[in-house]
């Protein structure tokens, strides 16, 4: 009994030890965004005043705003702005490939992606949205308590089927139709799961963002000489005698991959961007916030 409690506590402390840095960093990042309220510009459920409209026959007497109506002869109804909460599912690729950082001590792609996801989640929670993870066990919920849950879930490495894989895939099943998804990955692996997820999203009217997080080394391919490349999980190997010779071809393929992702996103009504793990996170967060606030489906190019 005692032993179980001790083990539980030590486990909880281990998890809690991970929690503050991510939550604190994300809170700080989110504070820098300072979003304004984003009304729906329609009458509906909400606390903000939207308009007075003349009362109709169908309006209950209790809905009439007597303070306004007393100024004239007509009866007015006070309408508030529609502030429907949206459901947003965040997903950060948990694969081994995301643990890459080209220079020692630099931020890994996974850390950057989690930070951005968490900060975006915090902003959304503050705006009253429901935020969850694209995992079966993390449906979207609203409220400040969800922030801690999100931080815990994002900090902890997924154990199970996805562990040790190069890339994992998102699960959008828990997201209600009409919701949004924000997918963080490097999208350097097989594109089929992404395609599958996007086509499923399209059928269920789920909008969203594809966010490709890349390390600077992946953008410029600064390698030379005889090199044996290994994937992060160690499954794939590739050896070359002159790495510098491959640079042009690699960059071409990378550009093609980005184009493919962009067209994939456009066909599903999503938006796509590439962020880098060495640039300041605030600018990336601003883009994400704008993209979410303006509606993921806005076709304005990236």
Partner 1 sequence: MAGFGAIGFATPALLFALLALPVLWWLLRAIPPAPVQRRFPGIALLLGLRERDPESQRTPWWILALRVAALAFLILALSGPVLNPRGTPTGDGPLLVVMDASWASARDWPRRTERVAQALTDARRAGRPVALLRLTDPPPGPVAFRTADHWQERLAGLVPHAMAPGPDHPWLDSLPQAVETLWISDGLAREGRSALLNALQQRGPVRVFEPDAPAVVLLPPRFAEGGVTVAARRTAGATPPADLTLVALGLDPAGTERVLARASLAFAARADSAEGVFTLQPELRNRISRFQIEGMRGAGAVALADDSLRRRSVALLSVREASEALALLSPLHYVRQALAPSADLVEGASIEDLLLAAPDVMILNDQPGLSESEAQALLDWVRAGGLLLRFAGPQLAAGPEGLPAGAPVEDPLLPVTLRAGGRTVGGAMSWGAPRRLAPFREGTPFAGLPAPDEVEVRAQVLAQPGPELAERSIAELADGTPLVTRSLLGEGQIVLFHVTAGADWSSLPLSGLFVRMLERLAVSTRGQLPGEAELADSVWQTEALLDGFGQLRRADDSPAVPGTALGAALIAPEPMADAPAPGLYRGGTQRVALNVGNNRSRLQPANWPDRVIVEAGVERPEQPLAGWLFLLAAVALMADALGTLALAGRLRAAAAVLALAFLPFAPGTAARADTPAQTETRLLEATESVVLAHVPSGDPRIDEIAHAGLRGLSIALYNRSSVEPAPPMLVDPEADELALFPFLYWPVLENSPIPSAEGYARLNRYLRGGGMILFDTRDAERARLTGTTPAGRRLQAIAAGLDIPPLEPVPSDHVLTRTFYLLGDFPGRHADSTVWVEAAAPEAERAEGMPFRNLNDGVTPVVIGGNDWAAAWAIDEAGQPMLPVGRGMTGERQREMAIRFGVNLIMHVLSGNYKSDQVHVPALLERLGQ
Q: Which residues of the chain form contacts with partner 1 (CB under 8 A)?
A: 31-32, 34, 97-98, 100, 109, 166, 186, 188-190, 215, 217-218, 221, 223-232, 236, 238-246, 249-250, 253-254, 257, 279-280, 282-283
Nearer Cβ to partner 1 (31/205): 31
Greatest distance between any 2 Cα atoms in the chain? 89
Q: What is the DSSP secondary-structure string of 182-198?
A: EEEE---S-SHHHHHHH
Nearer Cβ to partner 1 (129/166): 166
Query: Least distance to partner 1 from the beta carbon of 27, Å?
Result: 13
Nearer Cβ to partner 1 (55/214): 214
Whole-number Å distance between alpha carbons of 47 and 81: 7
Nearer Cβ to partner 1 (82/221): 221
Query: Least distance to partner 1 from the beta carbon of 269, Å?
Result: 27
Query: Least distance to partner 1 from the beta carbon of 80, Å?
Result: 30
Query: Least distance to partner 1 from the beta carbon of 253, Å?
Result: 4
Whole-number Å distance between alpha carbons of 93 and 99: 10
Q: What is each CA distance from 110 to 38, 122, 124, 231, 258, in whole angstroms?
A: 29, 18, 21, 15, 19
Whole-number Å distance between alpha carbons of 301 and 232: 32
Q: Please tell me whether residue 252 adopts helix, strand or coil conformation.
A: helix
Query: Least distance to partner 1 from the beta carbon of 18, Å?
Result: 22
Nearer Cβ to partner 1 (162/297): 162
Whole-number Å distance between alpha carbons of 89 and 131: 6
Q: Please tell me whether residue 232 adopts helix, strand or coil conformation.
A: coil
Q: In the chain, which residue ranges form alpha helices assigned H by DSSP?
A: 2-33, 66-69, 109-126, 145-155, 192-203, 216-220, 247-268, 281-293
Q: What is the DSSP secondary-structure string of 205-230?
A: T-EEEEEEEE-HHHHH----SSEEEE
Nearer Cβ to partner 1 (129/215): 215
Query: Least distance to partner 1 from the beta carbon of 240, Å?
Result: 6
Nearer Cβ to partner 1 (252/290): 252
Query: Least distance to partner 1 from the beta carbon of 167, Å?
Result: 9
User: Quick one: CA torsion of 36, 151, 99, 255, rounded to 10 degrees?
Assistant: -30
Tally Cβ neighbours within 10 Å of residue 262.
Answer: 19
């Amino acid at each position: 009994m005692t032993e179980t409690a001790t083990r539980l506590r030590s486990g909880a402390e281990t998890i809690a030890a991970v929690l503050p840095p991510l939550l604190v960093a994300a809170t700080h990042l989110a504070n820098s965004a300072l979003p304004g309220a984003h009304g729906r510009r329609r009458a509906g459920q909400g606390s903000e005043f939207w308009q007075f409209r003349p009362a109709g026959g169908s309006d209950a007497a209790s809905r009439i705003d007597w303070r306004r109506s007393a100024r004239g002869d007509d009866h007015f109804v006070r309408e508030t702005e529609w502030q429907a909460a949206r459901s947003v599912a965040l997903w950060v690729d948990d694969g081994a490939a995301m643990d890459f950082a080209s220079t020692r001590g630099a931020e890994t792609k996974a850390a950057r992606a989690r930070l951005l996801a968490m900060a975006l989640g915090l902003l959304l929670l503050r705006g009253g949205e429901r935020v969850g993870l694209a995992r079966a066990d993390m449906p979207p919920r609203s409220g400040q308590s969800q922030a801690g849950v999100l931080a815990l879930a994002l900090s902890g490495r997924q154990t199970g089927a996805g562990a040790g894989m190069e890339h994992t895939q998102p699960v959008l099943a828990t997201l209600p139709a009409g919701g949004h998804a924000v997918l963080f990955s490097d999208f350097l692996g097989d594109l089929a799961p992404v395609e599958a997820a996007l086509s499923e999203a399209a059928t269920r009217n789920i909008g969203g963002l594809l966010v490709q997080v890349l390390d600077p080394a992946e953008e410029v391919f600064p390698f030379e000489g005889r090199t044996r490349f290994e994937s992060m999980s160690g499954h794939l190997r590739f050896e070359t005698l002159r790495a510098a010779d491959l640079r042009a071809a690699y960059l071409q393929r990378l550009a093609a991959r980005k184009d493919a992702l962009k067209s994939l996103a456009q066909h599903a009504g999503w938006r796509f961007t590439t962020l880098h793990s060495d640039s300041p996170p605030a600018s990336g967060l601003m883009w994400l916030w704008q993209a979410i606030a303006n509606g993921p489906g806005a076709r304005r190019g990236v």
